Amino acid sequence: QYVPDSYIEDAFHQAAQDLEAEYKLLDYDDLINKGSLARKKRQTDKKDPSSLHASVLKTTAESQKIHDSFKIALKASQKLKNNVTLKQTGIKLRAPPKFCPFAFEPSCTEPVKYRQIDGSCNNPGNSLLGKASTPFKRLLRTAYEDRIQEPRRTGENGQLLPNPREIALRIHDPMDTPARISHYGVIFGQFIDHDFALSAATGFGSSPLKCTCLTDNEDCINIPTPDMDMFNDQLCQVLTRSAASFDKFDCSVGAREQLNTITHWLDLSHQYGSDQTTANKLRSFIDGKLRTMNINGMEREFMPNTKTGTCVDETNEELCFEAGDTRTSQNLMLVSIHTVWVREHNRIASALKRLNPQWTDEDLYQETRRIVIAEYQNVIYKEWLPVVIGEDLMRAFGLNIMHKRYFMGYDQDVNPHLSAEFSTAAFRFGHTLLRSTLTKTDSELRPFSNLTLGNIMLRPTEAYNNGGLDSICRGLLIDPGTSFDTHFTDEIQNHLFETGAFDAQTKRFSLSSINIARGRDHGLPPYNDFRKFVGLKEAKTFDDLIEIPPNVRERLKEVYRSVNDIDAFTGATSEIPLPGSLLGPTFSDIVARQFRDLKFGDRYYYENGNNETIRFTLKQLNQIRRGTMSRIMCDNLDLKFIQRNAFEPPSNENPIVSCASLKKVNLKRWRGEPLPVRETFFSNNFNNNFFF
C-alpha cells in the first residue's frame, strides 16, 4: 500500500530544498577556515596519505546524485512520519520517479551479441541488473546503530565497540607464513576485485569528501589513534563514509545501501571502462586495438601514461598508467597484470585482422573484447577459484567449467549483483594474503632484485627501470603469498600509503582497521550473524567459536566484551581454513555463492549456450577452454619457462615447464566469424529528468 502521489511529491520537494540549503551552509571557504571539512575540486596533494587513500575511492556526479536522492528520501520520510494518519497505517514509502535515480531504465535492443560497456541490458527481465552505479545486494539484514544509516557504535551491553585500530593491533598483528597460492594468485585477486567492486565515496560534485581528524561530520568515520600505538604521531586515520543509495530499483525507502560505481560483472571493465567515454578514450580506433605506449629500452607495449592519477611522482617525469579503473596505478604488481591483459587484447586483435582482413576497427575491437573476456572468465573458473576455495566447494556450488558441451544453467532470476557481505568483508580476504616484499626475475625466472611494497605503491619508478613491469610480473610467479589468518603483513598493517609527508594529519593507514571501520560504515551485522547464515552454530560464548584456534579465541575475548560484538572481518579471518580451501568456512561460503551468482546470472558467461546470438560456436568455446594463465603470460611477457598453474608457486606438483609445451588457443576458428548487424548502443540518459 502506498501514499497518494501528490502528497509525497510535496514532501520530497521540501526535503530537496532543505538539503540544498544545508549544502549552501557548507560553504567551501568557510569550512576551510573553520578547519572542519575541506571541499576540494581535486585531491592535489600527492604526498598526503589521505589524498592517496582518497585516490583509490571514487565519487562521480552520478553517485553523488544517488546519494543525495537517498538523503532527500530520508528527510521526506521523516516529514511524512510526523503525519499521524501515515503513522497509523504503517504505509510504505517510495520515492516518486522524479526523485528516483533508477526510474529510467535503459531500453535494450534484442538480441545483442556484445556486452554493453556499462553492464546494462544483460538480463532481458531487468536491464539495470549488473550496470555500473547500482547498489550492492544484501545476504543479511543490515545492522546500523539507528537501524537506518548510522554506523554501529555500541555493543550488546550498551558499551562502545572497540576502536578498529585497537582490534587491528591486538588481532591483526604482522606475521607472514608462506601459503600455497603464488603472490601472482593473490594480486590476481585484487585484479578481479577491481573488475567488479568499487564503492562510491560521499563527496561534493565529483570529488570525495576530505575529512580531517578534528571533523565531527556525519560522513566521516575517522579512526582515532589508541594509546600505546606506534601511530602516536597522528591523531587519527581519516576516513570518508561510502555514499548512500536506495537498496532497490523501485526506490522504496529503507536502510542505507552502498553503490557500486563499476559494472558488477566479470567483464574486464577495469580494462575496457565502465562507461562509454572512458572506453573510447582507451581505444586506438585502429585495427581494434587499445592505446599503448613504448618505454625507452623496452621492447613490448605498455598502457598509456596519465597525468590524472595520484602516483607519487618524484621526478615529474615518471607518470601513472591509464586503464578502465581509477585504481590501476595503486601498485606496480597490479599494473603489471593489467599490462599482460592489454597486450593480450592487442595480440588477439592482430591475429583476427590477419584471419579476417575485411573486418573494420569496430568489428575487431568488439570480437577481440568478447574473446579476451572469455579467456579471463576461463582462467578464473578453471584455475584461480579452485586454488582459492578448493575442489569440494567448486563442485558443491556448480562452479566447475564444462568439457566439450555448453553450460545450460543460465537463470534470469539470479541476481548477479555483488553482495555487501562479499565486497566489504569476504573478498577482502586477499588483504591477509599479501606479503611485504617482492622479487624481480628475468625471463628464466631467476631473481635479480628485491623490493618492498612501499617502493611500488603509487610510485611508478620501478616500472621504468631495472627490468620494469615485466620483471615484477615474473617475480610474482615465484613468490608465495602468505596464509589466510588474522595476520596482516607489516607494510599493509602499519605503513599503508606512507609517503614521508610528516606534516600530514594522517601519515599512514592500517588496512585491517579500515576494513573493520568500513564494515560498520556499510551496516554489516556482526560475525555471529554471518555464522548463522553459512550454517555454522550461533556462538553463545567465546568458547563456542570452535572454528577459531583457542589462542585467537582468547585474544578476541580480551578485545570484545561480547561474542555478539565481533566484527565480521575479524571473526571470519580468525577461522581455520576448510580442507582444500585457503579460507575459513564463512568466507569460503560467501565467495563461492558470489561466483555462482556471477556465473548463473550472466547471460554473457562464456560457456553459456542458451542464446544463439551470444554464444560462441562449440569449436571456438573448446579452444578458449584450452587456455591457461601461464599460456597468456608466455604469450605476452619475455618468458622461456613457467609453472603450469600460475596461481600456485612452483613445486613438484606444479613443475616449471617450457612455454613451448603449453597448449595454445587456435584462433583459426574465428575465420569468417559472422558479425552482427550493427546495433545502436544504448546511451545512458537516465538522469535527464532528475531533480537538480
* Of residues 686, 682, 691, the one with CA closest to residue 249: 686
Cell numbers 601511530 label which residue?
A: 231
End-to-end CA distance of the chain: 28
The answer to whether residue 164 forms part of the interface with ligand HEM (CB under 6 A) is: no
CB of 199 to ligand HEM, least distance (A): 4
Sign of the torsion formed by the C-alpha atoms of 395, 399, 401 and 405: positive
Site for ligand HEM in 459-518 (CB under 6 A): 511, 514, 518
The answer to whether residue 152 forms part of the interface with ligand HEM (CB under 6 A) is: no
For residues 372 and 561, the answer to whether their CB atoms sit within 8 Å is no
Applying CB under 6 A, which of residues 59, 142, 163, 190 lies at the interface with ligand HEM?
190
Q: Which residues of 357-389 are buried (b: 16+ CB within 10 A; e: fewer)?
A: eebebebbbbbbbbbbbbbbbbbbbbbbbbbbb
Which residue number places its CB atom closest to ligand HEM?
A: 430
Tell me, residue by residue from 513 to 552, as one string, x for binding to ligand HEM by CB under 6 A and - for no binding: -x---x----------------------------------
Site for ligand HEM in 557-586 (CB under 6 A): none
Residue nearer to ligand HEM on the CB measure, 431 or 459: 431
The answer to whether residue 198 forms part of the interface with ligand HEM (CB under 6 A) is: yes
CB of 473 to ligand HEM, least distance (A): 14
162 alpha carbon, distance to own chain's centre: 27
Cell numbers 548463522 label which residue?
A: 532
For residues 433 and 483, the answer to whether their CB atoms sit within 8 Å is yes
The answer to whether residue 50 forms part of the interface with ligand HEM (CB under 6 A) is: no
Number of residues that bind ligand HEM (CB under 6 A): 22
The answer to whether residue 428 forms part of the interface with ligand HEM (CB under 6 A) is: yes
Residue nearer to ligand HEM on the CB measure, 366 or 493: 493
H-helix or E-strand containing 472? helix 468-478
Cβ neighbours of 457 (radius 10 Å) = 23
Query: CA distances (Å), 596 to each of 189, 266, 395, 518, 600, in order?
Result: 16, 12, 11, 25, 6
CA distance 646 to 384: 9
Name the segment binding ligand HEM (CB under 6 A); options: 21-29, 214-222, 425-433, 636-644: 425-433
CB of 563 to ligand HEM, least distance (A): 25
Residue 194 among the catalytic residues: yes
Give 136-190 as a DSSP string. PB-SS----TTSSSSPP-B-TTSSBPPPHHHHHHHHS-----EEEEEHHHHHHHH
Tell me, residue by residue from 443 to 462, as one string, x for binding to ligand HEM by CB under 6 A and - for no binding: ----------x---------
Applying CB under 6 A, which of residues 431, 495, 553, 615 lies at the interface with ligand HEM?
431
Task: Find the catalytic residue in 53, 194, 270, 431.
Answer: 194
CA distance 527 to 25: 40
CA distance 7 to 77: 12
For residues 245 and 258, the answer to whether their CB atoms sit within 8 Å is yes
Query: CA distances (Å), 210 to each of 220, 239, 312, 413, 482, in order?
Result: 9, 8, 19, 40, 33
Residue nearer to ligand HEM on the CB measure, 169 or 187: 187
CB of 186 to ligand HEM, least distance (A): 5
Residue nearer to ligand HEM on the CB measure, 197 or 539: 197
CB of 434 to ligand HEM, least distance (A): 5
The answer to whether residue 331 forms part of the interface with ligand HEM (CB under 6 A) is: yes
Name the segment binding ligand HEM (CB under 6 A); options: 85-93, 126-134, 420-428, 469-477: 420-428
692 alpha carbon, distance to own chain's centre: 30
CB of 333 to ligand HEM, least distance (A): 7
The answer to whether residue 183 forms part of the interface with ligand HEM (CB under 6 A) is: no
The answer to whether residue 272 forms part of the interface with ligand HEM (CB under 6 A) is: no
Tell me which residues are annotated as active site. Answer: 194
Residue ranges binding ligand HEM (CB under 6 A): 53, 56, 186-187, 189-190, 193, 197-199, 330-331, 423, 427-428, 430-431, 434, 453, 511, 514, 518
